[in-house]
Amino acid sequence: MKSFTVLEGLVAPMDRANVDTDMIIPKQFLKSIKRSGFGPNLFDEMRYLDEGQPGEDCSNRPLNPDFPLNQPRYHGATVLLARENFGCGSSREHAPWALEDYGFRCIIAPSFADIFYNNCFKNGILPVVLPAATVEQLFTALYAQAGYRLEIDLAAQEVRTPAGEVLGFEVDVARKQCLLKGLDDIGVTLESAAHIHKFENRWREQSPWLFNVIGKGQG
Amino acid sequence: MAGLTLYDKLWRNHLVEQREDGSALIYIDRHLIHEVTSPQAFEGLRLAGRKPWRLDANLAVPDHNVPTSREERAGGIAGIRDQVSRLQVQTLDDNCRDFDIVEIPINDVRQGIVHVVGPEQGATLPGMTIVCGDSHTSTHGALGALAHGIGTSEVEHVLATQCLIQQKMKNLLVRVDGALPAGVTAKDVALAIIGRIGTAGGTGYAIEFAGEVIRGLSMEGRMTLCNMSIEAGARMGMIAVDQTTLDYVKGRTYSPSGALWDAAQAAWADLHSDADAVFDKVVTLRGEDIVPQVTWGNSPEMVLPVDGHVPDPQGMDNATQRSAAQRAIEYMGLTPGMAITDIHLDRVFIGSCTNSRIEDLRAAAAVVRGRQVASSIKQALVVPGSGQVKAQAEAEGLHEIFLAAGMEWREPGCSMCLAMNADKLGAGEHCASTSNRNFEGRQGIGGRTHLVSPAMAAAAAIAGHFVDVRTLQESTQ
Ligand code: SF4
């Protein structure tokens, strides 16, 4: 997983409450055998004027000109500014996969759905909760100025605005450490690699019939 | 200190690290892989630039999506008509090649349902920890192993670390004493247990099945029983190692031989619960009380003896039970008080990881021999669990018995168990099925599944409705 330390990036708006996982990535894309490549279908129903099909090349589809991500001033955004209860709905991990694949590394909102919030950390995305009034101010500033950027510093737990404001946020210590180091569950387990090797060597001596029977290591 | 249960011992033997928060790192000996739950796990490895921790711990086989008609099967992967199915099977093939994992390919004689193939090849052995991205991995507990299903993110975790993060379960002993009446099989025992403890009865527990009846079961029967642990709410079910286990395991492709066999056998001698082991819960049944079972509703716990009658929801005190029963009766198109033997069938399915082993096919063939499938039955499918089961059955001439009776003899795979391939129920159709789940729509949208043993399914095919198989068996004797 990618680590997250300090992100300085362009901000895009998702100006509605209760954006659910179906809006983030519609059902028809879940049959895929991949976890990458969902970026072109992020917010598919809002973003395009036609109905998207899995495997379709999105580059020629008619874009919804009113959708912010289709406007040049937001191209290349890595920070998404959102409203209450972002990511509600199913537990599908496809939602953070799609956001990450598109290029978002940080989502700022007054609140998030639980499972989605968790899934973000597993996929290298930092969800930042700020008070509703603060988010409102950020929306105002964002709309007022093209090329609006924010700096998010995870170690310091701060969002810094171009006007020099410093907005503190809370994050669970264990999750913060994992994200700072770029560790997912697998990464955390691999920190115990020495223990696993030690166990494995002893186990191999004790139960040699469990090893090197299947495959190329055979014999 | 009290003695240890079989589960306690298997857990202890594989404990890499106990963590302060109560979770533990458990070492995994065998990881079985199929095409539906693995693609994103491999993709995850690729994206993170990781490699499998230990190649020789893995074995892959496609089963859920493979077509079972001879004609569609003949074309291999390219011949699979459904595009999503073909892509999943192809992706498994590609991933195994890219990552150097051994795969039994679609038309290899060893191919079959992953839970039939593992024990058959000796790839799953006593004393192992065994996982697979499929909930019926509990099947392998029949060998005296710690075996359970996992999700896709855990598949990736096992591939990358050879470990899983686990919480220890509580111990549940299910003891079946006495002896089974003639014509009553492991499937009936499994359904009777679920009828007794309910589909949540095993939640939070590891089940150990014990008692004279269990000791008397063949390995095939034990696998049927452990397979359905998950329908009783338990992620894992297991049975102590005895001579039956050793006889089954010996001589298989991946089983130890020579000096290693002797060492393994010595180690496996400890794979039983100590006499003074303490279980958190004990449930006992008497074998003599168990008769052939039939499920009438949309949960495996909605089960009755074949001589029973569909319950009347009005008579139920519990409101949740009442509404569940009402809904099931409606969905299944039944009437309260109706005799189980008055349920007429449209299709019959003999197969799935629960009941597609050679003993199951023999039991079905014994009922069918010299008889004809009722004219009201649209289709009676027999789908062997693996290519080897199929070959064995053909060597014994079982396929001829099925074909002569008007049944179809298919290529190995999951088939109508979950209707991911072309084998499906139509809306409103009743099916006598030897599989393990009777949920709404499981075998096709609107389909009505009744779970039974292979002998009971065969008897229903002949009669066109449910009958106590023992009446047919008597008349042949
Ligand atoms: S036979 Fe059915 S229950 Fe068994 S693995 Fe296949 S789909 Fe799952």
Report pLDDT digits (tens) over B235-290: 999 999 999 999 999 999 999 999 999 999 999 999 999 999 999 999 999 999 99
Of A199, A209, A211, the CB nearest to B264: A209
Q: What is the mean pLDDT of chain B?
A: 95
pLDDT for the residue B419: 75
Return the CATH number at B25. 3.30.499.10
Please check the confidence at residue B476 and state whether its pLDDT lies above 70.
Answer: no
CA of A203, closest CA in chain B: separation in Å?
9
ipTM of model:
0.94
What type of residue sits at position B173? L
Q: Model pTM greater than 0.80? A: yes
| Confidence (pLDDT) at A216 | 56
The pLDDT of residue A151 is: 98
SS3 B430: strand
Which residue's CA is the nearest one to ligand 1's atom 2? B417
Give the number of other CB atoms < 10 A from CB of residue B461.
30
**pLDDT at position B260, please?**
97
A chain contacts of residue B16, beta-carbon cutoff 8 Å: 192, 195-196, 199
Q: Give the model's pLDDT for residue B477.
A: 46
Are residues B306 and B162 located together in one domain of the fold? no
Confidence at residue A91, expressed as pLDDT on a 0 to 100 scale: 67
Q: Is residue B108 part of a domain?
A: yes
DSSP structure string for chain A? ----SEEEEEEEEE--S--BHHHHS-GGGTT-S-SS--GGGTTHHHHBSS---TT--GGGSPB-TTSGGGSGGGTT--EEEE-TTBTBS---THHHHHHHHHT--EEEES-B-HHHHHHHHHTT-EEEE--HHHHHHHHHHHHHSTT-EEEEETTTTEEE-TT--EEE----HHHHHHHHHT--HHHHHHTTHHHHHHHHHHHHHH-GGGSS-SSTT--
Q: What percent of chain B has pLDDT over 70?
A: 99
| Residues on chain A touching B59 (C-beta within 8 angstroms) | 214
pLDDT computed for residue A119 by the predictor: 85
For the beta sheet containing B129-132, the strands, ordered from the edge strand earlier in sequence to the opposite edge, are: B58-60, B30-33, B129-132, B146-149
Tens digit of each residue's pLDDT (9 = 90 or more) over B180-196 = 999 999 999 999 999 99
Amino acid identity of residue B354, one-letter, is: T
pLDDT tens per residue across span A108-152: 999 998 878 988 998 899 999 999 999 999 999 999 999 999 999
- Which of the pair, B320 or B97, is modelled with greater confidence? B97
A2-31: per-residue pLDDT in tens?
Answer: 899 999 999 999 999 889 888 999 877 877
Q: What is the pLDDT of residues B74-130, one digit of tens each?
A: 999 999 998 888 999 999 999 999 999 999 999 999 999 999 999 999 999 999 999
Q: Is residue B303 part of a domain?
A: yes
Mark which of B113, B132, B166 sits at the end of a domain: B166
Pocket of ligand 1 (CB under 6 A): B 63-64, 113, 115, 134, 136, 352-353, 414, 417-418, 435-436
Contact between B417 and B228 under an 8 Å Cβ cutoff? The reply is no
Q: B44 and A35 in contact by Cβ < 8 A?
A: yes
Select from B166, B182, B206 the last residue of a domain. B166
> In the structure, what pLDDT confidence band is assigned to residue B227 with cuts at 50, 70 and 90?
very high
Torsion, CA B131, CA B133, CA B136, CA B141, rounded to 10 = 0
Does any domain span residue B470? yes
Averaged pLDDT for residues B9-20: 95
Q: Which of B161, B255, B256 sits opposite A196 (nearest CB)?
A: B161
- Chain A residues lying within 8 Å of B65, measured CB to CB: none
Domains and CATH numbers, chain A: 6-183 (3.20.19.10)
Residues 156-195 of B with CB under 8 A from A: 156-157, 160-163, 165
For helices B358-368 and B469-476, angle between their N-to-C axes, nearest 10 degrees: 70
Residues of B in contact with A208 (CB under 8 A): 260, 263
Chain B residues with beta carbon closer than 8 angstroms to that of A203: 27
Shortest Cα distance from A54 to chain B (angstroms)?
11
- Flag whether B95 is in a domain: yes
Domain for residue B9, yes or no?
no
Q: What band does A82 get if pLDDT is binned at 50, 70 and 90?
A: very high
Q: Is residue A53 very low, low, confident or very high in pLDDT (cuts 50, 70, 90)?
A: confident
Check A195 against B48: CB less than 8 A apart.
no
pLDDT of residue B474: 67
The best mutation among B63, B88, B139, B228 to test binding of ligand 1, ranked by most ligand atoms within 8 Å of the C-beta, falls on B63
Q: Judged by CB atoms within 8 Å, which residues 235-264 of B form the interface with A?
A: 254-256, 260-261, 263-264
Note whether B256 contacts A209, CB cutoff 8 Å. yes
| B384 — pLDDT class (breaks 50, 70, 90) | very high
Evaluate whether residue B188 is within a structural domain: no
Three-class DSSP category at B9: helix
For the CA atoms of A193, A195, A196, A199, what is the dihedral angle to 10 degrees?
160
Q: Which domain holds residue B434?
A: 293-476
What are the chain B neighbours of A55 within 8 Å (beta carbons)? none
Give me the mean pLDDT over the B210-220 stretch.
98
Instruction: For the sheet with A6-14, list strands across it.
Output: A126-129, A106-109, A79-82, A6-14, A149-153, A158-160, A166-168
Atom of ligand 1 nearest to the CA of B114: 5
Average pLDDT, chain A: 92
Q: How far is B43 from chain A (nearest CA, A)?
A: 6
Which residue of chain B comes nearest to A191, CA vs CA? B161
pLDDT, residue B473, reads: 76
Judge whether B350 lies within some domain.
Answer: yes
Domain boundary among B166, B197, B224: B166
**pLDDT of A218 over the 50 cut:** no
Q: How many CB pairs under 8 A join A and B?
A: 98
Does B268 fall in a domain?
no
Instruction: Work out how many domains chain B is built from and give that number.
Output: 2
From B33, B131, B353, B442, the mutation candidate for ligand 1 (largest count of ligand atoms within 8 A of CB) is B353
- The atom number, within ligand 1, closest to the CA of B436 reads 3
